[in-house]
Amino acid sequence: MKKLHKIPTEEMEELIKKTLDELNDYNGQLNFSSDAARKGIAAVIAKKLKKDKCVVCGTFTEYDEFDHIDKRYFYVEGSGQLCSACYMSM
């Protein structure tokens, strides 16, 4: 089974910081320093990191890393998991 694409810690930290900065610039009323906000952000990130990525475009798919390939849509043996858009464009 294909492994989840690993993102280096430094790259992930930079991506999270950039995203939070953009959200804060978009809406200055957001408070990312609250415990509830940090827990919510951590939960979303943890959930995303357990999902497989499309081997073509890199977007996260709906499938967990260890979902069996027989239970997935858009899985191509020998290539890996694709998102619906990339699969349909083949």
pTM beyond cutoff 0.85: no
Look up residue 55 and give its DSSP letter. T
Identify whether the C-beta of residue 60 lies closer than 8 Å to the C-beta of residue 48: yes
Which residue reads 């959930």 in tokens?
A: 47
Look up residue 5 and give its DSSP letter. P
- Looking at residue 73, its pLDDT comes to 96
Instruction: Report the distance separating Cα 58 and Cα 67, nearest Å.
Output: 18
Sign of CA dihedral 66, 72, 77, 83: negative
Q: H or E segment at 85?
A: helix 84-88
- Looking at residue 68, its pLDDT comes to 93
Would you write out the chain's pLDDT as a tens digit for each of its 90 residues? 334 455 666 667 777 777 777 776 766 666 767 777 777 777 777 676 778 889 999 888 889 888 999 999 999 999 999 999 999 998
- Looking at residue 20, its pLDDT comes to 72
